[in-house]
Amino acid sequence: MKGNVDVYYFGLDKKKARFDQGVGRESRQTLGTRLWSSADALDYNIEAVYQFGTFHGVRNGDINAWTVASDVGYTFRSRPLQPRLGLKADVTSGDKDPNNPDLQTFNPLFPKGNYFGQLTPVGPLNHRDLHPDLQLTLLKNVSVTGDWVFYWRKSTRDAVYGVPGNIQRTGRLSNARFVGHQPGIEVNIQADRHTTISFDLAKFMAGRFLRETPPGENIGYFAGWVTYKF
């Protein structure tokens, strides 16, 4: 099996960063590596990142954060519909104590909007998730993917954040860890070499943490869009 390796570094200096601990200047260094392969029936994408630096809030503290993310799948190419079974498993560190000036919340820096799929209210900060999926090729140009993602907080002393890093719900009102789960289905149609038509349907169901920090209602999603590549 052929594999690939990426190694990277990012530096971030943000004058006004907001975490559940408070607001302050964030000077963060990021070191990461990625192992990936998609050439065989078994494909994988595994990433590990460590972050360090300083956070100057009410008091000055050190940053010590990390993440490990994985996406592994197997495609049965000789079977009808060529099913691909996949499993994503990710974890990002969260702040251990909002009263301590040190900060352990991982910052994904510049995440894409569909980090966990096209529709999700949870971002990759202070979280753990399991995300199984099944992809089927119905026709040469039509595929459908069904998935189910489950979210927990990594630290019960930190918030639930959105995809861009905004605080969705403070972590100071509940010790519950389970945030919620979301089943969904996506259909992609390759109309021609340039045009893709997509539909996405999902429902996020609130877990104990959201119910204990209301509002904790379930949310339904539907989206459709057209992508044109030149």
Whole-number Å distance between alpha carbons of 138 and 162: 33
Identify the burial level of 210 via C-beta atoms within 10 angstroms of its C-beta, where 0-12 means exposed, 13-18 middle and 19 or more buried.
Answer: buried
Write out the residue range of the structural domain in which residue 21 sits: 4-228
Task: Write down the pLDDT at residue 114.
Answer: 73
The residues, any chain, with a CB within 8 Å of residue 46's CB and separated by 6 or more, are 34, 35, 36, 68, 69, 70, 71, 72
Yes or no: say if 178 and 219 are a contact pair by the CB < 8 Å rule: no
How far is 116 from 175, CA to CA, in rounded Å? 24
CA–CA distance, 230 with 147 (Å, rounded to integer): 30
Report the number of distinct structural domains present in the chain: 1
Q: By CB neighbour count within 10 A (0-12 exposed, 13-18 middle, 19+ buried), where does 179 fall?
A: buried
pLDDT at 123: 92
Please give the pLDDT value at position 157: 96
Per-residue pLDDT of the chain (230 residues; tens, 9 = 90+): 678 999 999 999 999 999 999 999 999 999 999 999 987 899 999 999 999 999 998 889 999 999 999 999 999 999 999 999 999 999 999 999 999 999 999 999 988 877 777 678 899 999 999 999 999 999 999 999 999 999 999 999 999 999 989 999 999 999 999 999 999 999 999 999 999 999 999 999 999 999 999 888 899 999 999 999 98
**Contact between residue 196 and residue 226 where contact means Cβ atoms under 8 Å apart:** yes
pLDDT at 115: 74
Give the pLDDT confidence score for residue 128 in this predicted structure. Answer: 97
Per DSSP, the three-state class of 187 is strand
Q: In terms of DSSP H, where are the helices of the chain?
A: 208-212
pLDDT at 1: 61
Q: Please report, for the domain that includes residue 161, its CATH number.
A: 2.40.160.100
Report the pLDDT value the prediction gives residue 146, as an integer from 0 to 100.
Answer: 96
For residue 215, whether the previous peptide bond is cis, meaning omega lies within 30 degrees of 0, is yes
